[in-house]
Amino acid sequence: MIPKFNGLEFGIVVAMFVIVTALGFTATRWKRATSLASVEEWGLGGRRFGTWVTWFLIGGDLYTAYTFVAVPALLFGTGAAGFFAVPYTIAVFPLVMFVAARMWSVCHEHGYVTAADFVRGRHGSPFLSLLVAITGIAATIPYIALQLTGIKAIVEVMGIGGDWPLWIAFIALAAYTWTSGLRAPALIAFVKDILIYVMVLVAVIYIPYKLGGYDVIFHRAATALKGATPPASTLLAGPQYLGYSTLALGSALALFLYPHAVTGVLATRDRSVVKKNMSLLPAYSLMLGFIALLGYMALAAHVKPVGGTAKAPDSTTIVPVLFNSQFPHWFAGIAFGAIAIGALVPAAIMGISAANTFARDIYRPYIRRNASDREEGLVSQIVSVILKLGAVAVIVTLKVSFAIEFQLIGGVIVIEILPAVVLGLYTRWFHRWALVVGWLAGMGLSVYMLYVTPGKTTDHFGSASFALSTWGFDTKVTIWTGLVGLVANLVVTTVLTLVFAKLPRGRDETSPSDYEEVEAPPMAMGGQAAGAV
């Protein structure tokens, strides 16, 4: 059934969208240097964001509209397995605290803009750097597209026909990102995060009050999941333990390998800001736990998804439908606006980071070696627009369910650069060509496992969880595909490093002291000293 159009909700969403778009354009004058005409200024904000700006920026980057609509949808459809996102976001920050600090130090010392930049300097291997760049971009593209599923979900629930709202969002996003660069999502992230915090806190108090309390919610959710096809539960079953734990662990290892996560780290003004944020960002995990519970609330409220097909309903709409059914229209409008803004912030950061990677690690080394900083920055701006255009095209032309299934393999792809990037921050023992062959082995095995994994709507690339029964084991146990690929990668890399011991190594342009820098000296940006934000 198509929902009825509500003018009040639509008016509130439009007003909020206009406000944040104006903020995006205003950001071009926010703590800027003489010119934004370089990747350093346009793509990294001059590397001078302080603790609070970074907290909102990285939080707005990692906790996206996709998280807001997909995590509850996962609990709505599969039960307890959907909670994997909560332990993985709790575990990720202790795991990456010191890694991110070392990455910041060496990149600040040598002016590296991306992880592929670092790999080239550390291992002396342009080809390995190219593989890292391609991997990061390939893993990010579907992620950008899926940010727009949040906007698409609220458009469907508000009863608006056609795809024109997505195109308007694309035009606004591309325009203010072009003019303001990373400063735009950094400024808008303040509004986005505050709105979502307020909305979620109200929801987890008010909706249980209306439904009779959390005991009623969990009882109704358990009953609904038991009668689903296939049956599910609010508790994990024995065969789910391995799949759940490896998915959580693997996702934690992969998260900060994405280009947008690296960009958030490198945009900070000093190493201490990175470490402070790794200790403060788990506050978002508390919010994520609340967000996940919305899936059970939707089950308890007997919410029916809007859109999709009878065989594969679009479950990403359950949170907007829940808010529409439980709250007055004025509050639902604010919630829909928050979801839309929550899509724009990460989409902007992801587009910028992937474009930076292309300009710095593909265009400049292989297409225009003598490109100026201004030309490199312009290429990054153009590619950022192209990526966003492609994201809208994906959402418009493909089924949302297919796009979500495709995104789940992003972590499987990006984790294969862990040996070159993360281990490279601590040791140069691994040979550069061993890392290349290890990447090929791990990626090849992972892609094969993904290919033979069916989903609800497809025979291939259906899930990032691999059923061990595919290899002849008599069990229902699954394992996260990326972890298997990573182990194969590490084994091949280790063995071949021993075999290639006498082959020449690339030149390492870093030194041990580069990784231990505690405080950054002032950096001249566009003729002015970089100030703190």
Task: Please name the amino acid found at residue 34.
Answer: T
Where do the domains of the chain lie, and which CATH numbers do they carry? 7-24+35-428 (1.20.1730.10)
* Percentage helix, strand, coil for the chain under 3-state DSSP, each rounded to 5: 75, 5, 25
- Calculate mean pLDDT across residues 123-142: 93
Instruction: Quote the pLDDT of residue 3.
Output: 74
Mean per-residue pLDDT over the chain, rounded: 87
**CA-atom Rg of the chain in angstroms:** 23
Which residue would you say has higher pLDDT here, 490 or 278? 490
What is the percent of the chain where pLDDT is above 70?
Answer: 92
Confidence of residue 280 (pLDDT cuts 50, 70, 90): confident
Instruction: Quote the pLDDT of residue 526.
Output: 37
Instruction: Quote the pLDDT of residue 529.
Output: 34
CB 408 within 8 A of CB 252: no
Pairing mode of beta strands 524-525, 478-480: unpaired
Task: Please name the amino acid found at residue 203.
Answer: A
Which DSSP letter does residue 466 get? E
Instruction: Quote the pLDDT of residue 532.
Output: 35
In 3D space, the residue among 146, 153, 456, 164 whose CA is nearest the CA of residue 307 turns out to be: 153
In 3D space, the residue among 152, 225, 142 whose CA is nearest the CA of residue 405 turns out to be: 142
- How many Cβ atoms from other residues are within 10 Å of residue 110's Cβ? 15
Cis status of the peptide bond prior to 521, with omega within 30 of 0: no
Confidence of residue 523 (pLDDT cuts 50, 70, 90): very low
Dist. CA 255–CA 488, nearest whole Å: 20
* pTM recorded for the entire structure: 0.91
Instruction: Quote the pLDDT of residue 134.
Output: 96
Q: CA torsion sign, 244 to 64 to 195 to 274? A: positive
Query: Residue holding tokens 């071949």?
Result: 496
- Calculate mean pLDDT across residues 85-93: 89
Q: Which alpha helices (DSSP H) does 63-182 contain, by range? A: 65-78, 85-110, 115-123, 126-157, 164-180
- Tell me the per-residue pLDDT of 365-380, one tens digit each, with 9 for 90 and over: 999 889 898 999 999 9
Q: Is 45 left (phi over 0), alpha (psi -120 to 50) or beta?
A: left
User: Is residue 221 within a helix (H) or strand (E), and if so which, with residue range?
Assistant: helix 214-226
Dist. CA 499–CA 520, nearest whole Å: 40
Pairing mode of beta strands 465-467, 524-525: unpaired
Cα dist. 344→73, 148, 170, 288 in Å?
20, 8, 9, 19
- Calculate mean pLDDT across residues 514-524: 60
Instruction: Quote the pLDDT of residue 533.
Output: 35
Q: Phi and psi at residue 7, in whole multiples of 5°? A: -65, -35
Task: Please name the amino acid found at residue 78.
Answer: T
The C-alpha angle 509, 511, 513, rounded to 5 degrees, equals 150
Which DSSP letter does residue 236 get? -
Instruction: Quote the pLDDT of residue 530.
Output: 35
CB 211 within 8 A of CB 299: no
CB 442 within 8 A of CB 430: no
Dist. CA 458–CA 34, nearest whole Å: 52
- How many Cβ atoms from other residues are within 10 Å of residue 311's Cβ? 8
Confidence of residue 309 (pLDDT cuts 50, 70, 90): low
In 3D space, the residue among 106, 191, 180 whose CA is nearest the CA of residue 352 turns out to be: 180
Q: What six digits make up the tokens of 422?
A: 């993360």
Beta bridge partners of 466: 479
Q: What six digits make up the tokens of 265?
A: 């780290």
Cα dist. 510→364, 505, 519 in Å?
21, 14, 18
Dist. CA 183–CA 23, nearest whole Å: 10
Confidence of residue 390 (pLDDT cuts 50, 70, 90): confident
Q: What six digits make up the tokens of 139?
A: 């893993």
Instruction: Quote the pLDDT of residue 364.
Output: 92
**DSSP strands (E only) in 390-502:** 465-467, 478-480
